[in-house]
Amino acid sequence: MKKTVALLIFVFSIFTAKAEINAGYSLEWLCADAGLIAVGKLKSYEKTNSNLMMFLCTFETTEMITGSAQSPVYFIVKYMPEDSLKKYVSEKTPMLVFLKETTRPYKTKTMHTSWQTMETYNSHPAMMNLDTPPKWLIKAEGFMPMTKREDILSFCRSCLIKLGEYQILGKTVFENFLEVPYQTEAYLLLFSGSTCYLKVPDFMFPKSTEKIK
């Protein structure tokens, strides 16, 4: 009995320790890791699985910030409320998407796509309404969310230039973890326990580490 209780306490302590740490993806890392960043409008969507909030989106691009693909682009988005998608289609809302290719493409008899939306934090998809951007894009430089369309697009372009200049030297960009200071705007958004981190490009943030402390 004592061994069972001790084991339960040990398991609970491990779970609690993990639950106290939250890590989100910084805007800098989204720019570094995305295969495609595009501005455009959602033309249509369809549910792919009745048990999951997973949708196949048809996206008409108006600007490719990085990457190349023929318009429309087809991709999978998860955990986006269907009411929001319906509104984006009907109102032709300008959107910004960060996409990454997955090793498990979505396939049907008539469709095949390996693109899916990236994640910002707390399962929020990196698919933004540019008319009224939510606080999902967190800039590690200053630890603050970006909520203005032109600021977001301008920062993405400047960040991609820095990434390009680094990579043209033959260097590889690695994912590091940057601890988020207490009581910053980023901390308040990420907070779910005692410590919060942002995933960032290693060379941009000398104080970042390869692993969570």
Q: What is the pLDDT of residues 107-159, one digit of tens each?
A: 765 667 889 999 999 889 999 999 999 999 999 999 999 999 999 999 999 99
pLDDT at 52: 72
> Both tokens of residue 165?
């200049």
Mean pLDDT of 178-199: 89
The pLDDT value given to residue 20: 73
Q: Which pLDDT value is given to residue 111?
A: 66
pLDDT of residue 113: 81
Q: Report the percentage of the chain scoring pLDDT > 90.
A: 73
Q: Which two tokens stand for residue 64?
A: 């490719």
Give CA–CA dist 150/120, Å, rounded.
Answer: 19
What integer pLDDT is reported at residue 119 of this predicted model?
95
Sheet hosting strand 195-201, strand order edge to edge: 21-25, 195-201, 175-179
Q: Report the candidate in 210, 187, 198, 195 with the shortest Cα–Cα distance to residue 18.
A: 195
pLDDT for res 184:
94
In the prediction, which pLDDT does 22 show? 87
> What residues does each domain of the chain span?
28-165
Tell whether the model's pLDDT for residue 104 goes beyond 90. Answer: no
What pLDDT score was predicted for residue 165? 97
pLDDT tens digits, one per residue of 13-52: 444 444 478 899 999 999 999 999 999 999 999 988 766 7
pLDDT given at position 50: 60
Average pLDDT, the chain: 88
Q: Average pLDDT for residues 94-107, to the nearest whole number?
A: 88
Q: How high is the pLDDT of residue 51? A: 64
Model confidence at 80: pLDDT above 50: yes
Q: Which residues contact 201 (CB under 8 A, 6 or more apart)?
A: 28, 29, 32, 163, 173, 174, 175, 176
> Which two three-digit tokens encode residue 151?
């600021």
The pLDDT value given to residue 7: 43
Q: Which CATH class is domain 28-165?
A: mainly beta
Mean pLDDT value of segment 82-89: 96
Beta carbons of 119 and 138 less than 8 angstroms apart: no
